Chain A
Amino acid sequence: MKIAMIDGSPKYTISNSSRLLGKLEPMIRDNNEIVHYHLATKPFTEEQYLELCGMDVLVFSFPLYVDSIPSHLLRMLLKLEDFMKTNRQKPVTVYAIVNNGFYEGKQNHIAIRILENWCLKCGITFGQGIGTGAGEMLDFISNIPLGHGPLKNLGTAFQGLTDSMKTLTSGKPVYLSPNFPRFAWRFSAINFVWNANARKNGLKKKDILKQL
């Protein structure tokens, strides 16, 4: 099978979306041709849109922005719909991994439904979506093997996703939180992500709270 791994993060550097694709790829590499796409670098060319129409599988990995799909990815989907309607020669099945910065993965459900609606408009099949919470944690636990510790739930979800992909079947969406206590996640996110990043920029907590 030809599988497109589409990193839908707008970040030029390594992102949580790319980390998730990195965890998934070894599970689907055998006997498959994998092509990587990254939407942040520059808009897709006509040639890239045509390539996507010739894939068996599209795997989108992207961050949740304000309850749904980031605008730059939405623009790309609108263009790809036109290409799919006029240039697609064979069935295409779409899988999605959506990550958010909250604890609960279920908040990704609207983004996944938008992608399902997009598939219907394109005339292609939606396979399955996974919505994972606590995306910002991935930076700190990227060395932990999938299926272990905080990544236990993600490992189980990815196993189901790859089983569906290998047989090109559809499955119910899976929403997950990390195998990690909510209070500890919240404490870490506030202190080790947000306050720590502000401190790097010379800001204190009162600066973060500033009203204009």
Chain B
Amino acid sequence: MRLLVHDLTPQEFEALGLELSPETTVISDDGTIKPCIGCFGCWVKTPGVCVLNDKYQNMGQLLSKCSEYIIISKCCYGSYSPFVKNIFDRSISYFLPYFNNIDGETHHKKRYDNRFSLSVLFYGNDVTEAEKETAKDLVAANSTNYSRIKYNVSFYDNTLSLKEGLQ
């Protein structure tokens, strides 16, 4: 399954003119996502599922079926946008509370064995070089957490130019 998470408006997304295969699941911002409350219920209460009852509570399960993960996000200070970051925060049910050691650093073990590739397309017309470097390091850190998956990061000045990266 191909998972596409984006923070574009419906108009911006439509303007990309993407022809999506039936295997693609699209997650977008309809304004209803709840922020993670740091309860770790997805680890110790309802393992694998976020306890917050909205349509984003099964992100961990979706990732377990994913072979290609594509993210389109506005670059905010070298981070993802709040919506996309919210998706990451609500996806920790993909992991277990237990630990791995990767290159001398502690990380969480994965709940699932699948591997996927990660492509992150950042956009924004005032992204500084420092922000780009931070964003690259952020995606690299994310990929390490997902057990050193393959990843790539690209930057675009506006949402229309994202087309280049999605072809």
Contact = CB atoms under 8 A, between A and B. Distances in A.
Interface of A: 9-11, 15, 40, 63, 65-72, 74-75, 77-78, 102-104, 106-107, 110, 113-118, 120-121, 133, 186, 189-190, 193-194, 197-198, 200-201, 203, 207-212
Contacts of A189: 99
A74 B85 contact: yes
Interface centre among B88, B91, B134 (most CB of A within 10 A): B134
Contact of A63 (B38, B58, B96): B38
Task: Say what secondary structure dominates the interface of chain B.
Answer: mixed
A10 B35 contact: yes
A69 B97 contact: no
Given A113-B78, A211-B111, A11 B44 contact: no
A194 B42 CA distance: 11
Contacts of B128: 117, 120
How many of chain B's residues touch chain A, expressed as a range? 35 or more
A67 B142 contact: yes
Interface of B: 35-40, 43-45, 47-49, 58, 60-61, 64, 76-83, 85-86, 88-89, 91-92, 96-99, 105-107, 111-112, 128, 130-131, 134, 137-138, 141-142, 145
Contacts of B89: 65-66, 70-71
Contacts of A198: 43-45, 47
Contacts of B37: 10-11, 40
Contact of A197 (B44, B78, B106, B134): B44
B39 to A, nearest CB: 8
Given A102-B106, A104-B106, A117-B77, 9 more contacts: A11-B38, A66-B91, A67-B145, A69-B79, A78-B82, A110-B78, A110-B141, A117-B134, A208-B47
A78 B35 CA distance: 16
